[in-house]
Structure 1
C-alpha cells in the first residue's frame, strides 16, 4: 500500500512539471510577439510651391457671331423666292424678287423729267447769253438781263431736282430685289410667293445668322470676379491669357479653343452676375445658336500653391481637408489645409502647408495623430505584418 502511494505521488509531480513547462512556453512567445510591433513605417513626399492655373468652369449659351433680319424696303407683292431655306447665302445675293413694274414706271417718269428740265435749262442759258451783250450796249434793260440769268439758274436747279428724283426712283427699283445683308445660314422664309410686304411691317422676311465664328456668353458672379481682382492686386496670383474650353450638352469636349473677347461693365441686378463673351471657331457648324454649354478657362496663375496627391488628403466630419505630416521626433502631425479643387490626381492646396513639409501619402490606414512613425520616401516597399492577434495565436500554437 505504501508503494502504491509513492508511485501516485511521482505521477502527480510529473504532471505539475509538464503543466508548468507549457505555461512557461506560452508566456515567452507572447512577450516576444509584443516586442515585434515597433513604429509604423509610412511613405511621404516633400511638397514645394508651384505655379497652378486658377481654372473656372461656368455655364454659358452660344450666340451667333452676326445676326441680320431680311426686311423689305418697298411695298409690293413677292414674285419669287430665290434661295433654299437653311442654306448658306452670300452677302449681296438676291433672296426675293418684289413686283418691280410700278417702280420701273416711276424711274422712267423721273428720267423723262430730267430730260425736260435739261431742255428748259438749255433754252434759259441761250437766252441769258444773248441778253448779256445787249444789256452792255443798253439795248435791253439791265433788269431783263438779270431776269434771264435768274431763269437760267432756276432751270439748273430743276435739273438737279429731277436727277435726284430719278436717283430715288432707281434706288426704289433696286429695292424690289431683296439682297442678303451678310453671309451666313438663312432660316425658313416667313413669307411666301404672292404675299404683300411693305417697309413698315413688323416681321422680317427671313433671318440670317453667321455661325463661324460663334460667340459664347458666360455668366460669372460679381463676388468671384471681385475676389479674383483682389488677388491680382495683392500679388497672390498672376494674370493669365483667358483661353476657353467648352463642354457640350452631351458631355463631350468641343475640339476648338476660344478666347475671351470682353466683359460687361455692369452687373445684372436680377442675377448678380457679369457677362463674359468668348469667341470660338466653328468650321464644322457643331455649335448652334442657343446651345447650353459649360466653359472652363484660366483666369489667373497661382504661383504659391501646392500639389498634394489625392490619397494624402482626407476630410473631417465638418468637411475640412486634412493631411498627416511627418513631425518632430518622428511623430505624425494632423494639419488642416485649404483644398478647394482638384487638378488631375492632385489636390490644389492654397493654405496650411509650407515649403519642405513632408506629407504622408502611404501607410495612412494604420496611422493615428501623434503616433510614432518611421518615415521613408514614398514608394519605398512597405513591410507586410500579420495583425497582432494572429502573431500571438501563432506563437501559442508553436509553444503548444
Structure 2
C-alpha cells in the first residue's frame, strides 16, 4: 500500500534543504575571499633617517649658593648699644648695622690729640734751639757738640710728632669702628646678638650674616667619568662644544623661568665624591632661588653632528640589553640592525652607531617581522589601502544577504 503524503507536509523539508545548501555556498565564498585578502607580503611603515646636529644634553644635580656672603664681625670690643636694621631685609653697603659703646674710644681720641699737641710744641722748641746753636757753633761761641745735640733733639721731636699723629689716627679708626657697617649689599639674616651684649674682636660667632642673592650661583656636580667621556667625544670629529646656557628644574618639578650661564669649571676632582664642580650664574630678581636649595641643571655640553634621531617605537632590546632595529634592505627584505642607542631626546632615540645616511628604518608593523622576510614598505603613517570588490564579484556577506 502506498502512503500518500500531503502536499503541505513536503514544503518544510524542501525549505530546510535549500537553506542548508545556501549556507554552505556562502561559507565557501567567505573563506575564498579571506584567503585572497591575506595573500602578499606584510605592509610596514618606514622613515628615512639622515644625520643631524643632536645636542648632548646633561641633567645634573646642583645646589644654590649665594653670590656673595659676608659675616658681620666686630673690629673693636665693647657693649652693643643699638641694633639699627630690621632682620630679613635688604641692607646697603656702608649702612650702619650696630652701634657699640663709643665712650672709651672717644676718650682715646682726645688723649691722642693732646699727646700730639704736646709733641708738636716740643718739636717747635727743639727746632728753635737748634737754629740758634748753628751760627754760634760756626763762630765757635758754643761747642760743636752742643749744636749736634740740639739738632738731634729737634729730629727726635719731629719723630715724636709723627708717632703721636699715628696714635691719634688709630684712635679715630677705632672710634669709627664702634659703628659696625654693612660691607656688601644684600639680604641680612637674624641678629645673633642683642642690645647689651658684650662683643670682642676675637669672638667665634658673627653678629649677623649678609647674603647677596641677585645674581646667584648654582654649583653643579658632574662625575669625573662623564667629564672624561665628554672630553674624548670633543676630541673626535663631528662633535663640537655646546652653549653655556643652563636651565633649572626646581624641587617641585617646575622650571625656573630664567636661563643661566656657566661661569667656570673646577680643575680638581673631589676625593670624597669623585665629582667636578661647575658653577652657573642666574638672575634672581624675585628671590625665588634660595641658598641651600637642591635643583637639577639641564644644559647642552656638546653637539654631535653625526647622530641620528629615530622614533622610540622602532628600537628594541635583546636579552643582553643591546639595541636593535629593522631597516628596509635590498629587494624589500627586512634586515635587523644592531645600533648604539645610549640616550633619548624627547620621543626619539639618539643613534650614534649602526646607521647610514638614507637608511629606511621601519617604525610600523614590526611585531611579526623575521630576518630577510619579504615586506611591502610604505612611508610611515600611510593609510592601508582596502581593495573594493570588482564588478560582478560577490562577497560572502552579499551572498548571505542575497540568500
**TM (normalized to structure 1)?**
0.89
Asked if structure 2 preserves the Cα contact closer than 8 Å seen for 1:93 and 1:179, the reply is yes
1:119 aligns with 2:121: yes
1:29-40 alignment, distance < 5 Å: 30-37=31-38, 38-40=40-42
Distance 1:78 1:28, change over 3 A: closer
Give the Å deviation of 1:319. Answer: 3.4
SS of the residue aligned with 1:74?
A: coil
Give the Å deviation of 1:341. Answer: 2.1
Asked if structure 1 preserves the Cα contact closer than 8 Å seen for 2:26 and 2:396, the reply is no
**CA distance in 2 between partners of 1:179 and 1:293 (Å):** 34
The answer for the alignment partner of 2:342 in structure 1 is 340
1:208-227 alignment, distance < 5 Å: 208-227=210-229
Asked if structure 1 preserves the Cα contact closer than 8 Å seen for 2:33 and 2:396, the reply is no
1:55-74 alignment, distance < 5 Å: 55-74=57-76
**TM (normalized to structure 2)?**
0.88
CA RMSD between the two structures: 2.7
**CA distance in 2 between partners of 1:319 and 1:196 (Å):** 68
**CA distance in 1 between partners of 2:295 and 2:213 (Å):** 16
Q: Extract unaligned runs of 5+ from structure 1.
A: 5-14, 386-391
Give the Å deviation of 1:320. Answer: 3.1
Distance 1:103 1:351, change over 3 A: same
Pick from 162, 168, 171: which aligns with 1:160? 162
Asked if structure 1 preserves the Cα contact closer than 8 Å seen for 2:30 and 2:396, the reply is no
Give the Å deviation of 1:22. Answer: 8.4
1:88-167 alignment, distance < 5 Å: 88-167=90-169
**CA distance in 1 between partners of 2:170 and 2:316 (Å):** 79
Deviations 1:26-85 (A, max 9, x none): 656534532332122222111000001100000110000111100001110000000000
Q: Extract unaligned runs of 5+ from structure 2.
A: 5-15, 388-394
SS of the residue aligned with 1:152?
A: helix
1:322-341 alignment, distance < 5 Å: 322-341=324-343
The answer for the alignment partner of 1:309 in structure 2 is 311
1:1-400 alignment, distance < 5 Å: 30-37=31-38, 38-365=40-367, 367-383=369-385
Deviations 1:281-326 (A, max 9, x none): 1111100000000001111000101011223223334433322211
**CA distance in 2 between partners of 1:384 and 1:139 (Å):** 140
SS of the residue aligned with 2:37?
A: coil
Distance 1:25 1:381, change over 3 A: closer
**CA distance in 2 between partners of 1:269 and 1:384 (Å):** 67
Asked if structure 1 preserves the Cα contact closer than 8 Å seen for 2:247 and 2:259, the reply is yes
Q: 93-102 vs 374-383, which deviates more?
A: 374-383
**CA distance in 1 between partners of 2:171 and 2:260 (Å):** 47
Give the Å deviation of 1:124. Answer: 0.5
**CA distance in 2 between partners of 1:184 and 1:153 (Å):** 51
Asked if structure 1 preserves the Cα contact closer than 8 Å seen for 2:260 and 2:280, the reply is yes
**CA distance in 1 between partners of 2:239 and 2:233 (Å):** 6
Deviations 1:321-373 (A, max 9, x none): 32221112211222232222222222211112111100112333454443321
The answer for the alignment partner of 2:10 in structure 1 is none
